[in-house]
Amino acid sequence: MAEKAFLVDTSKCQGCRACQVACKQWNGLPGEKTEFFAGPEYTNPGKLSAITWNHVIFFPIDRSNETRPIWTIMHKKCFHCAEANCMAVCPEKAIYKKDGWTVIDQDKCIGCGACVHACVYQVPEIAEIHHTNDAGQHIIVKDRSHKCNACTQNEREIPACVTVCPSGALLYDYRNKMIDYAQKRVKELKADGYPNASIYGLDQYGGLGVITVLRDKPEKYDLPVNPPKFDHVKAEHTKDVYALLSTATMGVPALKRFAYKAAKSISKDA
Amino acid sequence: MTNHWIDIRNADVVFIIGSNAAENHPISFKYVQEAKDRGGKMINVDPRFTKTSSLADVYAPIRPGTDIAFMSGIINYALQNDFIQKEYVVEYTNAAYLINPAYKFNDGIFSGYDSGKKTYEKDTWKYQLDDKGIPKKDKSLKDPNCVYQLMKKHFERYTPEKVESISGCPVESFKKVAELYCSTHKPDKVATIMYAMGATQHTIGVQNIRTYSILQMLMGNMGLAGGGINALRGESNVQGSTDHALLWHIIPGYLGAPVASKDVNLEAYIKNNTPKTNDPMSMNWWQHKPKYLVSMLKAWFGENAKKENDFCYDLLPKAHKPVPYMTMFEDMYKGQHKGAIFMGTNPIVGGPNSNLILKAIEKLDWMICADLWETDTSVFWKRPGANTAAIKTEVFLLPMVSSVEKEGSVSNSGRWAQWRYKAQQGPGNSISDLDLIDELFLKIREMYEHDVKAGKKVALPDPITKANWSYRHPGEHEADPHIVAKEINGYYVGKDGKKGKQMENFLKLAADGSTACGNWIYSGSYTEKGNMMARRGLKDASNKIGMYPEWSWTWPVNRRIIYNRAAVNRKGEPWDPKRWVVKWTGSAWKGDVVDGGATAGPDQKNPFIMNPEGVARLFAPALADGPFPEHFEPLETVARNLMNSRQLNPAVSVLDTMKSTIGSTARFPYIGTSYRVVEHWQAGAMTRNLPWLTELVPDMFCEISLSLAKAKGIKNGDKVKISSARGEIDSYALVTDRVRPFKIDGKMVEMVGMIWHFGQGCAESGDSCNTLTPSVGDPNSSIPEFKAFLVNIQKA
């Protein structure tokens, strides 16, 4: 587990989305072509992707308490699980931990999509390369998997998203300090009329690198308190089969991807 | 702002109304959060549940255009329950002042109304004077003609039930707001009021702000740390541009623009514009106006400005009629303008009733747009539906550098003038605004001089040929912003050894031609010690309230909180010793730079030094539409006025071009209102070209309630058509429970909220909300009524 952690305090987030833009700027990611809004309220794009490593989700307003409606606005990115499923399934050991942060080694990644399927939080995505072939057809080629690397690649002391947050909704410090702070915030929120205020990320998948403070229960924000257990046996089996098949791929990524697909299908039947 | 951004953190109650600060002033929330972290509470009053509302402790909805009813309800609540800071009110406001017994208020009309001209003769609003010419007072507040009693009578009509019927805010929510806000009437409790365009952009905009000011006076919150009236300016330098007379009715430093009919010479101007007082307690700061005007003329006309020629006062332009923004475009529409220069402005997106603005621009012979990119205005001639062949306007688009590609000062809402260095060279042939103006002026002067020399008949060459214009170092081809800043600060022209030296501050400015100063309020910003605006000292002052007096420079005279004499009682003791701004030691002031000079003690002078009476005006005898705020409906409204039998503010005149396009509920049954989102900047030319921002908000959209969506068969993300009496636009619909209908006078009314950032140019285009808005404005400020009008909506 990382020594440090992010803290996302949704009770202080004002939805300015500076985090989303700063990430794209620091990591050289292009803007996505969108129409209207892809998610609830102002959410855009609708999900994380190979070129959108964090985004802000605007949940629909909850007016169940008429005098104190809750409109939750939540920064979302890779949670950097201590026991990262994506890392466990990666057949090429392309996903590794750097100072506790989950990072995809772009030189090793074959774009098989194992991590995409393994992630409960729908974080990584395989980049698509668009080009037109000689016959004028539009071709989309799957490339490699991308996601937040906690600014460990284009390295900086404080991650870009945290640096630009104006209101203290995004913090970055030692994990135990962040947890203490989160607990203090939840206590304050409960006293302030939010009896269901909660913390997410203390122990899911061995503890997350992103601690989220919420004014209501995590389930309301699509955050499973008891996320599905990871099937290590199946994952190891798939990787074994892939190891055998991949000897015939001569290192060609497209063939490797094919080999992984086959391995997955074989181990499914097993 | 009377206070400044950091100071928000000192508030016990942060009251945000007419502003979605979390959205449009995101950095302000750093300090709002700090106030909350200290145990402060935040109130938000807004027609929609916004990002600001999502962080509020108390939220109350009101129908657009009903701030006066809502806030007057709080004034009434405070007066009825005696939740006022009595000592402060008696000493520092005109509550005790006696008004002319002939003053009357009847059914929405104050005494002195001329229904033909729609103006007020204000004689009956004046103070009663004693034999020395000093206003009479009754500090017991019992005289029926004292402001306090008149105020009590005026506002008692604004009961909580009336507030609910007019604004749609449930009595219970209203009371919560009133109770929390009025908790700051205690001397050591303080509230700040943060407002923006939601408050000002109405035909009753100025009186909206008056209600805030009255409340802050009653609570004793002006001049204190964490208090004040805080206008959140909508652009990084709009404070600076206003200070330097962007608007038609002022010249730099808030001196009135000369009026042709009465300010015929310098003597007449000074007589008409310099207030007088006989009250020894009043500093009457504007008595110094002649010094500021003459020094400005010396800066502008240099050696040509002499005592014997009225310091070239004759060369100043004189206003023949009020020409605010809307009138200017009406005149253009009537063919009175040959050409126009639009620098960093995009009027066909940003101005009201933009179809009219388009028609006006089509009549120009030439138009210059100076901007970073093509703007919607610069390509108006090829917009969808334009009859391009018939448009004869010759258009020039000049490439300009961005704010980080030039050096200069930017004045923020808190009046801090902060110097910025140039970070990088602008692309291509782009130049700065300063260089554009400098080159343009020098070329024009060359042409004038040439024609004069050649003996040609030239109309009025003197203002051009006699101007003191020298902003380049010898041999240079570019103007130096430091030279401009030094002139703004001012310098000694005469006075022995000091000749040529920079002014220390405006206290030494003189009306005899011995000093020059471009803008008196900025005097002290660039002294012999150097460029004070470039300072970046991180040391706080002795009062430790976050003033950081060595960081940049604040007008006036680096005072961080204005009216700070009101932060202490008559003995000079701070109302709140823990958050003191200034205090009197018996012989000197400590803390912030005290208002009105350091020598006068707290019991010798009144704190509101810009008013000739020296106290704050609960009753304001100088405004165009009345001494007390009164609720009137917007020009286009869904409701009848429940306070009086007038619908529209009686002091509002409607322009000829607007009269035929006033809509009614028969065709346009819904309230239209407009606002901004954080992702886009004003008229959008800067942000609609940036893919990271258009990813977030790519399209024109409106926000409607679930009930309106259901009634109209509109689903979230549907394309809709929105219309008003002035035009129709396409938009996407965001259906959200953050928007709810208002129950007004027993009837449910729906609202269509729109962003106004889009237009038919730039990388991402869309229809402009301002196609729909009316060109009608406030009688004091002429700001257009962007915030409340009538529309209809249909699924496209």
The three-class DSSP label of residue B770 is helix
What's the ipTM?
0.95
Report whether B697 contacts B677 (CB < 8 A). Answer: yes
| H or E stretch covering B492 | strand B491-492
Number of A–B residue contacts, CB under 8 Å: 102
Minimum CA–CA partner of B34 in chain A: A167
End-to-end Cα, chain A, rounded Å:
33
- Phi first, then psi, for residue B550 (nearest 5°) are -100, 5
Chain A hits for B698, Cβ within 8 Å = 33-36, 44
CA distance B54 to chain A (A): 5
Dump the DSSP string for B649-676. -TTPPPPHHHHTT---TTT--EEEEEE-
Q: Per the structure block, which two tokens stand in for B249?
A: 């009715």
Instruction: Determine contact: A195 vs chain B, CB below 8 A.
Output: no
Report angle CA B188, B194, B200 to the nearest 5 degrees: 135
Residue of chain A whose alpha carbon sits nearest to that of B703: A41
E-state strands within B510-665: 515-516, 526-527, 530-531, 553-554, 582-584, 589-591
Measure the CA–CA gap between B550 and A67, rounded to whole angstroms. Answer: 44
Cβ-based neighbour number of residue B141 at 10 Å? 17
Nearest CA to B782 out of B641, B610, B651 is that of B651
Chain mean position to CA A205: 13
Contact B49 A30 (CB under 8 A): no
Name the closest residue on chain B to residue A56, using Cα atoms: B696
Mutate to test the interface with B, among A48, A163, A167 (most CBs of B within 10 A): A167
Angle between helix axes B67-80 and B205-218 (nearest 10 degrees) is: 20
- Least CB-CB distance to A31: which of B30, B51, B694? B694
A96 close contact with B: CB closer than 8 A: no
Return the number of other C-beta atoms located less than 10 Å from residue B358's C-beta: 24
- Are B737 and A192 in contact (CB < 8 Å)? no
Report the SS3 class of residue B728.
Answer: strand
Name the residue of chain B whose CA is nearest to A185's CA.
B37
pLDDT score at A260: 87
- Say what the pLDDT of residue B409 is: 96
Q: Do B678 and A16 touch (CB under 8 A)?
A: yes
Q: How far is CA B782 from CA A137, B68, B203, B756, B785, in A?
A: 58, 18, 8, 19, 9
Distance CA B374, CA B398 (A): 9
Task: Select from B105, B17, B2 the least CA-distant residue to B625.
Answer: B105
What are phi and psi for residue B673, nearest 5 degrees? -145, 160
Which chain A residues have a beta carbon less than 8 Å from that of B738?
A: 41, 61, 71
Closest in B54, B717, B738 to A36, CB measured: B717
A70 neighbourhood in chain B, CB within 8 Å: 54
Residues of A in contact with B693 (CB under 8 A): 21, 31
Question: Among candidates B530, B449, B453, which has minimal Cα distance to B489?
Answer: B530
- Residue of A11, A24, A36 best to disrupt the B interface, most CBs of B under 10 A: A36
Residues in chain A with CB shorter than 8 Å from the CB of B173 are: 67
B413, B5 Cβ separation under 8 angstroms: yes
**Nearest Cβ partner for B26 among A20, A73, A166:** A166
Regions in chain B scoring below 50 on pLDDT = none
Under an 8 A CB cutoff, do A16 and B26 touch?
yes
The dihedral through the CA atoms of B627, B633, B634, B636 has a sign that is: negative
| Residues in chain B closer than 8 A to A16 (CB atoms) | 22-23, 26, 51, 678
- Quick one: three-class SS letters along chain A? CCCEEEEEECCCCCCCCHHHHHHHHHHCCCCCCCCCCCCCCCCCCCCCECCECEEEEECCCECCCCCCCECCEEEEECCCCCCCHHHHHCCCCCEEEECCEEEECCCCCCCCCHHHHHCCCCCCEEEEEEEECCCCCEEEEEEEEECCCCCCCCCCCCCHHHHHCCCCCEEEEEHHHHHHHHHHHHHHHHHCCCCCCEEECCCHHHCCCEEEEECCCHHHHCCCCCCCCCCHHHHHHHHHHHHHHHHHCCCCHHHHHHHHHHHHHHHHHC
**Which of A10, A16, A63 would best serve as a mutation to test chain B binding (most B beta carbons within 10 A)?**
A16
User: Could you give all domains of chain B from N- to C-terminal order, each with its CATH number?
Assistant: 6-234 (3.40.228.10), 325-465 (3.40.50.740), 656-795 (2.40.40.20)
Mind listing the domains of chain A with CATH numbers?
1-227 (3.30.70.20), 231-270 (no CATH)
List residues bridging with A126 in a β-sheet: A145
Which residue pairs from B385-393 have beta carbons closer than 8 angstroms and sit at least 24 positions apart in sequence?
Answer: B391/B362, B392/B365, B393/B361, B393/B362, B393/B363, B393/B364, B393/B365, B393/B366, B393/B367
Contacts of B310-314 with CB under 8 Å at 24 or more apart are B310/B265, B310/B266, B310/B267, B311/B266, B311/B513, B312/B462, B312/B466, B313/B258, B313/B265, B313/B266, B313/B269, B314/B265
In angstroms, the separation between the Cα of residue A265 and the nearest Cα of chain B is: 37
Residue of B nearest to A64 (CA): B737
B738/A contact by beta carbon, under 8 A: yes
Distances, alpha carbon B202 to alpha carbons B1, B114, B355, B774, in Å: 20, 22, 20, 10
Tokens of B139: 């500090």
**Residue B94 contacts residue B126 (beta carbons within 8 Å):** no
CA–CA min distance B235, chain A (Å): 17
Interface residue B696 vs chain A (CB under 8 A): yes
CA distances to A40, B280, B703, B706 from B711, in Å: 21, 65, 15, 9
**Measured between CB atoms, does A166 come within 8 Å of chain B?**
yes
In chain B, residues with a C-beta closer than 8 Å to the C-beta of A45 are: 695
The minimal CB distance from A71 to the residues B33, B677, B738 is found for: B738
Tokens 């609003």 identify what position?
B125
Strands A54-58 vs A73-77: parallel, antiparallel or unpaired: antiparallel
pLDDT at A251: 79
Angle at which helix B289-301 crosses helix B266-273, to 10 degrees, equals: 140
In this predicted model, what pLDDT tens digit does every residue of A47-87 receive, in sequence order? 999 999 999 999 999 999 988 999 999 999 999 999 999 99
User: Is the preceding peptide bond at A224 cis, omega within 30 degrees of 0?
Assistant: no
Structure tokens of B434?
Answer: 């300063």
- DSSP type of residue B437: H
What chain B residue is nearest to A192 in terms of C-alpha separation? B57
Per 3-state DSSP, what percentage of chain B is helix, strand, and coil (rounded to 5)? 30, 15, 50
The radius of gyration of chain B's CA atoms, rounded to the nearest angstrom, is: 26
Residue ranges of B 1-60 with Cβ closer than 8 A to chain A: 22-23, 26-27, 29-30, 32-33, 49, 51-55, 57, 59
Secondary structure class of B344 (helix, strand, coil): coil
Distance between CA atoms of B686 and B373, rounded to whole angstroms?
7
Distance CA(B352)–CA(B776), nearest Å, equals 8
Place of tokens 């989303």: A20
CB distance from B715 to chain A under 8 Å? no
Query: Cβ separation of A44 and B695 shorter than 8 Å?
Result: yes
Q: What is the pTM of this model?
A: 0.96
Query: What SS3 state is found at B514?
Result: coil
Helix (H, G, I), strand (E, B) or coil at B744: strand
Considering Cα of B42, then B47, then B52, then B53, what sign does the dihedral take? positive
A152 CA: distance to closest CA in chain B (Å):
22
pLDDT lower than 70: segments of chain A? 1, 269-270
Report yes or no: A122 at the B interface, CB cutoff 8 Å.
no
Nearest-CB residue to A14 (from B29, B173, B701): B29
Taking the Cβ of residue A31 and every Cβ of chain B, the question of whether any pair is shorter than 8 Å is answered with: yes
**Which chain A residues are closer than 8 Å to B171 by Cβ?**
none
Percent of the residues in chain A that have a pLDDT greater than 70, as a whole number: 99
Nearest partner of B53 among A186, A212, A217, A68, judged by Cα: A68
Contact (CB<8Å) B736/A61: yes
Which candidate from B30, B694, B699 shows the least CB-CB separation from A167? Answer: B30
Please list every residue in chain A whose beta carbon sits closer than 8 Å to the beta carbon of residue B678.
Answer: 15-17
- Residue A135's Cβ-count burial label (10 Å; 0-12, 13-18, 19+) is exposed
**A194–B contact, CB cutoff 8 A:** no
Contacts of B438 (CB under 8 A, 6+ apart): B471, B472, B478, B479
A163 touches chain B (CB under 8 A): no
At residue A28, φ and ψ (nearest 5 deg) are: 65, 40
Strands B394-399 and B408-411: unpaired
Distance between B698 CA and the closest CA of chain A, angstroms: 6
Q: Would you state the structure tokens that stand for residue B115, as one six-digit string?
A: 């229904």
Amino acid at A151: C
**What's the rounded Cα separation, in Å, for the pair B348 and B392?**
18
Report the amino acid identity of residue A185.
R
Question: Which of B26, B59, B697 has the CB atom closest to A14's CB atom?
Answer: B26
